Structure 1
Amino acid sequence: MSNPTNPYAPDEPASVIFAEKTWLQGCVLNSVAYGTQFALFVGCASLLWQRTTAPNRVRNRLFMAYVCVMFGLGTVAMVSNAAFVQFAFITNRDYPGGPAAVENDFFAAPIDEGGNVAFVIQCWLADALLIWRYTVIYRGSRVPAWIVALWPSLILLGSIVTGVLWSIQISATSLHVHASQVVNWTIPFLSLTISLNILVTLAIVIRIQIYRLRLTRILGKHHASSYTGVVAMIVESAAIYSAFAIIVLVTFTINSSVLNIFLQAMSQVQTCTTLLIIYRVAQGRAWMTNTSDTIMSTLNAGTSGGSRARTMRLARAHLASGDDMLPHTYVLDTMTKEGQSTTQYSRELSGSSTDVQKAEIAVEVVQEMA
């Protein structure tokens, strides 16, 4: 309809204009998320390259291949989305219903199909990584490992099946279901991949929070943040993507045009969360297969002995576990309480280039104190 206050406005209903705005805003958000993804990709690749040693060479090479594939898929999705927005707003500007109708009716266009396929594969790979993190964090629990991994693996399998069916469906029709179609595979696919992320996120947060409460109760709040802090919970659990995915699921369910803003950036945000996890792993700060054992050793050591003896037990427990992140704060605290100068120790720590070197220094100091 005409706009009396703006003679240059398109003669379209307000709902159509709003839908077109959301498509453009989604394209901008997608670009911002891709920029973040690029920065994380460079950071991950650089860190993995620098910290590759004989013991972790295979693991770091696998991670390097993974981040390259994820970044490549993200790039395909980004280029496809930008080209499709141009296709809708410029190439087919006069299509009945406007650019928003083009976005909804031309999902089978080759220019968009590549991005859709890249998005599906990204979901599978990101979900697989999250399940791996989940099984690592739940290692050592009373529940058998195969049971721990069973339910998310079944959801992932369902996501793969529905993802294939969705890709086939949108290659021949629009995102929205025609009356002749029985199933819109968009709903099962998005529901499975999003529910998997939300459920695994909750499981990881609960597990980390339990350890955090135990450490805080025995050692104090200051010493319980290496693997159980807020940042650790947010990164390890991919909470950022889960929150983003909930918005997508809600807006899709209520058929709101706001969906267009978040759906376009969904794959980029998911890739960003996976790269954050790998970056933390490359730093040696992520929860690894021996972390739960390390924490239990720390808890056992922290409940017995005096300050100096407890500090030595803590350091030795961490060293025996192969953990890079030794409790240097315990050493400093104990030295301060016993009236010893911490200047030399702090100077040696600041001159150390790796966490392993810092760990060796910490143990030497603790042994001297003992």
Structure 2
Amino acid sequence: MDANQNLPLERSWYIGNTIFAILYGVELCMFFLSSYFLWKSKSDNSRKFYIIYGAILTILITIAMSCNLFFGQMMWIEHRDVDGGPVAYFGENVQAWYNVFGTAADITADILSNALMLYRCYVFWGSSSPWAVVFPGLLFLSSAVMGLISTVQSARADFFAAVNLVIPWLVLTLTFNVVTTCMIAFRLVSVGRGLRQILGKERAEVYTGVVAILIESALPFTLLGIGYVITYVRNDPEALAFASIWGCFVSLSPQAIILRVSLGAGWTKQTISQYGTDTPFEFSAASRSNGTALQTIADSRTGKESAGGSGSTSTFPVFSRKQDTTTSLVDIV
């Protein structure tokens, strides 16, 4: 293979690493913002979990990006004159420790990301149909095991050398993402119809709008995964770019969910336990007269006063005027 034939592969990886670096900066900003808002909130249970979870994801994605950039330095700068050029060096050093380390970090981040998606799926479906999360749970366990085995295979040339385990892992994790994305998106669309009738379009938009569906269901992450699998199976050069971008969204998508939760705009167990996810919605007369947590959040964004009466509104905490108790939309039990 001559140099001109290698150029598409090199361009693809270079573009992928560049976009990865840009998205990494976005992920860092989201992590620090969400950590700040969670730290200022009154919800001790959720803030500790989400801050630690976000920090672990950030560390893992930092390792993955650093290893990718170091591999690029070794390929394009330190050893650019090897026989066959940078692509030949890349093929001969796929099992180098830094590449395996970066792959392991990315796969670990993917397992953590899928775990959060499984939990979010349970949040939306567990109260009414707990059995609905059984199939996604089995897919999650299968993809996690296959991902760990793929990591071992990438480090050892003699480990299942005749079988490429990357494709089964990609198919399993992509299937899991498609299933959970569809389940969450369907739930949000169903909830949106009832909320718009009860709360009005502006208030319901906070929780069931297009942005909410995109983030809560991790739709961009799933679409990128589909693109990666297609290009990888076809052996297209663009697979390298998709791999880098998809690898960054492993951390970016859950961090976006955490940021929504920290801002009081994300669905949580407490939100669903109070109002449920079944439609049509039936709010009691007391709830309509005293205001709801959803209304409080929406009012704080639209500048309107809560239906519960006069007074200022706040996102953290939300005060129930009827029972004189304090609750938070970011509590997880």
Q: TM-score range by the shorter chain?
A: 0.7 to 0.9
* Structure 1 residue runs without a partner (length 5+): 2-11, 303-309, 336-341, 364-370
Whether the 8 Å CA contact 2:290–2:321 is kept in 1: the answer is no
For 2:292, the equivalent position in structure 1 comes to 318
Whether the 8 Å CA contact 2:194–2:280 is kept in 1: the answer is no
Question: In the TM superposition, what is the alpha-carbon distance from 1:93 to its structure 2 partner?
Answer: 1.1
Task: Please tell me whether residue 33 in structure 1 is matched to residue 23 in structure 2.
Answer: yes
Alignment of 1:71-110 (within 5 A): 71-110=58-97
Whether the 8 Å CA contact 1:116–1:167 is kept in 2: the answer is yes
Whether the 8 Å CA contact 1:25–1:261 is kept in 2: the answer is yes
User: Using the alignment, how far apart are the partners of 1:226 and 1:114 within structure 2?
Assistant: 40
Whether the 8 Å CA contact 1:73–1:118 is kept in 2: the answer is yes
User: Using the alignment, how far apart are the partners of 1:165 and 1:297 within structure 2?
Assistant: 43
For 1:286, the equivalent position in structure 2 comes to 266
Task: Please tell me whether residue 161 in structure 1 is matched to residue 145 in structure 2.
Answer: yes
User: Using the alignment, how far apart are the partners of 2:142 and 2:51 within structure 1?
Assistant: 27
User: Using the alignment, how far apart are the partners of 2:303 and 2:35 within structure 1?
Assistant: 33
For 1:18, the equivalent position in structure 2 comes to 8
User: Using the alignment, how far apart are the partners of 1:196 and 1:113 within structure 2?
Assistant: 24
Alignment of 1:1-370 (within 5 A): 12-51=2-41, 53=42, 56-141=43-128, 143=129, 145=130, 147-173=131-157, 181-217=161-197, 220-292=200-272, 293-294=274-275, 299-301=281-283, 313-316=287-290, 318=292, 325=297, 349=312, 354-356=315-317
Whether the 8 Å CA contact 2:215–2:253 is kept in 1: the answer is yes
User: Using the alignment, how far apart are the partners of 2:171 and 2:279 within structure 1?
Assistant: 40
Question: In the TM superposition, what is the alpha-carbon distance from 1:220 to its structure 2 partner?
Answer: 4.4
* Structure 2 residue runs without a partner (length 5+): 325-333
TM-score (norm 2): 0.85
Task: Describe the SS at the equivalent of 1:93.
Answer: coil
What is the identity, as a one-letter code, of the residue corresponding to 1:270? V
Whether the 8 Å CA contact 1:48–1:64 is kept in 2: the answer is yes
**Deviations for 1:91-110, whole angstroms, at most 9, x for unmatched residues?**
22123332123223312101
Q: State percent identity of aligned pairs.
A: 25
What is the identity, as a one-letter code, of the residue corresponding to 1:289? K
**Deviations for 1:80-101, whole angstroms, at most 9, x for unmatched residues?**
0000011111222123332123
In the superposition, relative to structure 1, how do residues 168 and 128 fare at CA in structure 2: closer, same or farther (>3 Å)? same
Question: In the TM superposition, what is the alpha-carbon distance from 1:182 to its structure 2 partner?
Answer: 2.8
Question: In the TM superposition, what is the alpha-carbon distance from 1:250 to its structure 2 partner?
Answer: 1.2
Whether the 8 Å CA contact 1:235–1:273 is kept in 2: the answer is yes
Question: In the TM superposition, what is the alpha-carbon distance from 1:26 to its structure 2 partner?
Answer: 1.3
Task: Describe the SS at the equivalent of 2:207.
Answer: coil
**Deviations for 1:119-157, whole angstroms, at most 9, x for unmatched residues?**
11001000000110111011332x2x1x22211111111
Q: Which has the larger radius of gyration?
A: 1
User: Using the alignment, how far apart are the partners of 1:14 and 1:284 within structure 2?
Assistant: 52
User: Using the alignment, how far apart are the partners of 2:4 and 2:282 within structure 1?
Assistant: 65
Question: In the TM superposition, what is the alpha-carbon distance from 1:223 to its structure 2 partner?
Answer: 3.8
What is the identity, as a one-letter code, of the residue corresponding to 2:232? F
Whether the 8 Å CA contact 2:291–2:306 is kept in 1: the answer is no
Q: Which moved more, 1:287-296 or 1:41-50?
A: 287-296
TM-score (norm 1): 0.77
User: Using the alignment, how far apart are the partners of 2:287 and 2:263 within structure 1?
Assistant: 25
Whether the 8 Å CA contact 1:80–1:114 is kept in 2: the answer is yes
In the superposition, relative to structure 1, how do residues 332 and 39 fare at CA in structure 2: closer, same or farther (>3 Å)? closer
In the superposition, relative to structure 1, how do residues 221 and 357 fare at CA in structure 2: closer, same or farther (>3 Å)? closer
User: Using the alignment, how far apart are the partners of 1:197 and 1:29 within structure 2?
Assistant: 22
Whether the 8 Å CA contact 2:109–2:251 is kept in 1: the answer is yes
For the aligned residues, what is the CA RMSD? 3.2
In the superposition, relative to structure 1, how do residues 282 and 318 fare at CA in structure 2: closer, same or farther (>3 Å)? same
**Deviations for 1:248-298, whole angstroms, at most 9, x for unmatched residues?**
111112110001112123222120111111111122211112333426699
Question: In the TM superposition, what is the alpha-carbon distance from 1:59 to its structure 2 partner?
Answer: 2.4
Higher relative contact order (CA 8 A, sep 6+): 2
What is the identity, as a one-letter code, of the residue corresponding to 1:95? V
User: Using the alignment, how far apart are the partners of 1:45 and 1:291 within structure 2?
Assistant: 21
What is the identity, as a one-letter code, of the residue corresponding to 2:224? F
Question: In the TM superposition, what is the alpha-carbon distance from 1:215 to its structure 2 partner?
Answer: 2.7
